[in-house]
Amino acid sequence: MKKFISVLIGIILTVIILIGAMLVGAGYAKYKQAIGDISLADKISEVMRSENYVKIDDISETFKDAIVAIEDIRFYDHGAVEFKSLLRAVLVNLKEKELLQGGSTITQQVAKNLYFDNDQNFIKKIAEMFLAFDLEENYSKNDILEIYVNIIYYGDNNYGIKEASNNYFGTEPIDLDYDQSTLLAGLPQAPSAYALGEHYEAAKERQKQVIEALEKFTTQRQKY
């Protein structure tokens, strides 16, 4: 009986390894196809040429801290992929048999928004990881954060921090105050659910989470 169980475990592990290898191979192929169509450098240059692109120094410090705090609080401490969060997401997804959680870092979100649509699957997720490693190898954390806040969607047809600041508050990103910053930082997680035009109350509830995360982020930073 023990021998049978050992053989069964061996077969299961082998199958898991083979499936994993196939997924990684397919993800790598998708990654190569993506950068083959347009290189990462060219893609980012294209984004930066937008008339609404805003440099990191021209964005409110409070907003930058708030978006990091709520989206990826360890952004400045980990690499392209945070494996603890990723493993947790994988376990949830396997349990539910669908991609419910992403476990994505800000860098991974940049990769996804640059190259892929919102319809996620395991192969795209792996391709996204390869792109994230490229981003971290070639760009600084501040560069990546700058790209991120300029390409994410804030709801109500506002793409990027300049459009969101201008259209929601009639102000420039550098002039966002505490309330505006913490409100905007909560929108990218679910723009259709938090868009200020139709879901202001939901956005205000989300803002409470942002403020809590920001306070935690500020406390952690003061320790160093």
Please give the residue that has the higher pLDDT: either 30 or 73. 73
Superfamily of 2-38+52-222 according to CATH: Biosynthetic peptidoglycan transglycosylase-like (1.10.3810.10)
pLDDT of 175 > 70? The answer is: yes
Provide the whole-model pTM. Answer: 0.85
Find, among 56, 102, 64, 100, the residue nearest to 81 by Cα. Answer: 102
Q: Which residues of 28-62 are buried (b: 16+ CB within 10 A; e: fewer)?
A: eebbeebbeeeebeebbeebeeeeebbebeebbeb
What percentage of the chain exceeds 90 in pLDDT? 64
Looking at residue 99, its pLDDT comes to 46
Of the ranges 18-22, 58-62, 95-99, which is most confident? 58-62
| Confidence at 130, pLDDT banded by 50, 70, 90 | very high
Q: What is the pLDDT of residues 90-123, one digit of tens each?
A: 554 444 445 444 568 999 999 999 998 877 788 8
Instruction: Report the SS3 class of residue 153.
Output: strand
Task: Tell me phi and psi for residue 62, to 5 degrees.
Answer: -65, -40
Looking at residue 215, its pLDDT comes to 96
